[in-house]
Amino acid sequence: MRHFAIVGSGPAGFYTAEALEKAYGDQARVDILDRFPVPYGLIRFGVAPDHQSLKAVSKRYDKVAESAGVDFIGNVSIGRDVSVAELLDFYDAVILATGAPHDRKLGIPGEDLPGVVGSAEFVGWYNGHPDFADLNPPLGGTHAAVIGNGNVALDCARILSKTRHEFEGSDIVGHALDALDGSALKTVTILGRRGPHQIAMTPKELGELGHLEAAVPIIQTADFPPVEADEPLEPGLRKSVTLLRGFSDLPADKPKRMVFDFFAKPVRIEGDGRAERIIVERTELDEKGAARGTGETYEVPASLIITAIGYSTSPIPDVPFDGGKFVNEAGRIGDRLYAVGWARRGPSGTIGTNRPDGYEVADQIAAARPAGSDEGRGGAEGLKALLGSRGIMPTDYDDWRKIEETENANARPGSPREKFVRPDHWLQAIGR
């Protein structure tokens, strides 16, 4: 019997478990470990709460977790509670699927002022991530800004702009819903260093902005090249740019505005003890398509500034790390050690992009350690004994189902669940 440990229960971890199960059948046991007793990584803590259909992908992961050869072991943090070297003693291979949970920094003066928050923090706050339950983002001002031109920036801007009514059916946590409902925001500026042809926003996410109850998206037509220039764009991007262009036809008759400010590079954040404004330099594209400052600057008022410019992985002791992700070649980090998902390739692609990643690594493992052979490693048994000796009590998949049932039972009307936002509440729900 082969034993495999996958560290991280997000999409990459689950697709890898699925692939290993297919490759080995009943010749292997796969343990999916997570620092939390609740699985699914960014499906729970990242994907927007008003995009429930996307979150439904977790049903597929449930099937994997329920299959005979796979176990979920929660409440264990690798690198803190147990080292990777120790895991390698118990398992034939260890696959790191730990994602990329840290916000990249802007690297400009003033970004540490109160009022400047990373998108991982802000998204975690409204999605019930326990590390960010107390974020309390300042929502009392009339102006906010989101820095970045990808879908995460759009998620943040949309969540700031929706009405309480528009969150019906979502699983936004109650504390965030109440705070957003009481917000004084009138203008959310979305800043991008380059232009409409360089966005990483997808049509579905952009399309939604044209139909918000209380907010209207605003663009400056002068930021756009002639419409013929859209022709050679890749079809998805062309659709996004067409949607953006269409925003100029919308009547600006709603109380809130979402202003797309292109060719705008933040150079400094200023304020009296807290963020009040961003100083922005106007840019143009150079020959290589990069943003080049023009020297012209202006101010964008904002008492809440959300940076959505990318993420990096958490380093784990003794695992080679390049500052953003684990150093790997096609997913292989070293002998019997692999990475998948965002920990392997950095924060890009959709949920589905993690599937080929997991399958590729599972194929490599199966080629190196064929089914039927055995190196005598004991898997979860040894791990659990070690954890027990350290006073750590792991949780299992049944514990998660109990937590989920309680969250579902606690749901406010019209919402599928009310997530617990404190780890001790998770543990209380399973009688600890």
Ligand X SMILES: Cc1cc2nc3c(=O)[nH]c(=O)nc-3n(C[C@H](O)[C@H](O)[C@H](O)COP(=O)(O)OP(=O)(O)OC[C@H]3O[C@@H](n4cnc5c(N)ncnc54)[C@H](O)[C@@H]3O)c2cc1C
Binding residues for ligand X (CB under 6 A): 7-13, 33-36, 41-42, 46-47, 51, 54, 77-79, 97-99, 123, 152, 155, 314, 341-343, 349-351, 354
CB of 315 to ligand X, least distance (A): 10
CB of 357 to ligand X, least distance (A): 8
Please identify, using beta-carbon distances, which residue of 10 and 331 lies nearer to ligand X. Answer: 10
Indicate the residue type of 26.
Answer: D
DSSP H/E element including 277: strand 277-285
Q: Give the DSSP per-residue string, 73-89.
A: EBS--BTTTB-HHHHHH
DSSP H/E element including 282: strand 277-285
CB of 403 to ligand X, least distance (A): 14
Please say whether the beta carbons of 298 and 304 come within 8 A.
no
Please identify, using beta-carbon distances, which residue of 280 and 340 lies nearer to ligand X. Answer: 340
CA dihedral 223, 225, 227, 230 (to 10 degrees): -110
Nearest residue to 115 via CA among 341, 304, 379, 257: 304
Phi, psi of 150 (to 5 degrees): -115, -175
Burial class, 288, CB count within 10 angstroms (exposed 0-12 / middle 13-18 / buried 19+):
exposed
Residue 252 is classified by DSSP as: -
147 forms beta bridges with 191, 307
CB of 316 to ligand X, least distance (A): 6
Please identify, using beta-carbon distances, which residue of 103 and 281 lies nearer to ligand X. Answer: 103
Please identify, using beta-carbon distances, which residue of 98 and 189 lies nearer to ligand X. Answer: 98
Please identify, using beta-carbon distances, which residue of 47 and 209 lies nearer to ligand X. Answer: 47
Distance CA 291, CA 405 (A): 49
Please identify, using beta-carbon distances, which residue of 79 and 416 lies nearer to ligand X. Answer: 79
CB of 368 to ligand X, least distance (A): 22
Please say whether the beta carbons of 69 and 21 come within 8 A.
yes
Distance CA 81, CA 72 (A): 16
Please identify, using beta-carbon distances, which residue of 104 and 194 lies nearer to ligand X. Answer: 104
Please identify, using beta-carbon distances, which residue of 241 and 343 lies nearer to ligand X. Answer: 343
CB of 272 to ligand X, least distance (A): 31
CB of 76 to ligand X, least distance (A): 6
What token pair was written down for 158?
């949309």
Give the chain's radius of gyration (CA, Å).
23
Please identify, using beta-carbon distances, which residue of 280 and 365 lies nearer to ligand X. Answer: 365
58-59-60 Cα angle (round to 5): 85
Please identify, using beta-carbon distances, which residue of 51 and 292 lies nearer to ligand X. Answer: 51
CB of 349 to ligand X, least distance (A): 6
Distance CA 14, CA 19 (A): 9
Helix axes 58-66, 11-24, angle to 10 degrees: 40
Distance CA 146, CA 155 (A): 10
CB of 98 to ligand X, least distance (A): 4
Residue 286 is classified by DSSP as: -
CB of 43 to ligand X, least distance (A): 6
Burial class, 245, CB count within 10 angstroms (exposed 0-12 / middle 13-18 / buried 19+):
middle
Please identify, using beta-carbon distances, which residue of 36 and 263 lies nearer to ligand X. Answer: 36
Please say whether the beta carbons of 386 and 86 come within 8 A.
yes
CB of 299 to ligand X, least distance (A): 28
CB of 221 to ligand X, least distance (A): 29
What token pair was written down for 125?
């706050």
Please identify, using beta-carbon distances, which residue of 194 and 325 lies nearer to ligand X. Answer: 325
